Amino acid sequence: MSRVLVIDDETVVGTILRYAFDVDGHETVVAGDGPTGIEMARSEHPDIIVLDLMMPNVTGYDVLEVLRDDDRTRELPIVVLTAVTMQRERDQCLSKGADAVMIKPFDPREVARAVGALLSPATSA
């Protein structure tokens, strides 16, 4: 069983994704803001992170930068969720270390498939 950390300030998003990941047999933990998400990434030892880009105070960009600069979280796969549809924003997420970028509104099953695809090399090793 893999552990997924969802970092999103919208409670409903965390609930929907928790259900989608639970159906696939993953354990899901949810952080409601960037600072809590950074702490949980270090303490909960997730196998993958799903990160909202637009959060108040500490944005997803900030969280992504901190996680990629930390030896404990540098190699974790990260899927970014964003309502921003401009290609430039997606490219910026990827250049900062995101492994995948998905546009809101999203289909929870699509996010679960992306998570599964990113986890499969790690779980089959």
CA distances from 78 to 59, 60, 103 (A): 14, 11, 14
Whether residue 31 contacts residue 7, with contact meaning beta carbons closer than 8 Å, is answered with yes
* Domains of the chain, residue spans: 3-118
User: What does the pLDDT read at residue 121?
Assistant: 65
49 vs 52: CA distance, rounded Å: 10
Q: How many CB atoms lie within 10 A of CB 78?
A: 26
CATH of 3-118, one of 1.20.1250.20, 3.40.50.2300, 3.30.750.24, 3.90.245.10: 3.40.50.2300
User: What does the pLDDT read at residue 124?
Assistant: 42
User: What does the pLDDT read at residue 52?
Assistant: 97
The pTM for the full model equals 0.93
CA distances from 82 to 29, 52, 98, 123, 124 (A): 20, 6, 12, 27, 29
pLDDT per residue rounded down to tens, the chain (125 residues)? 899 999 999 999 999 999 999 999 999 999 999 999 999 999 999 999 999 999 999 999 999 999 999 999 999 999 999 998 889 989 999 999 999 999 999 999 999 999 999 998 654 44
Task: Retrieve residue 58's tokens.
Answer: 């500490």
Looking at the chain, the number of H-run helices and the number of E-run strands are 5, 5
Task: Retrieve residue 88's tokens.
Answer: 């430039």
33 vs 102: CA distance, rounded Å: 19
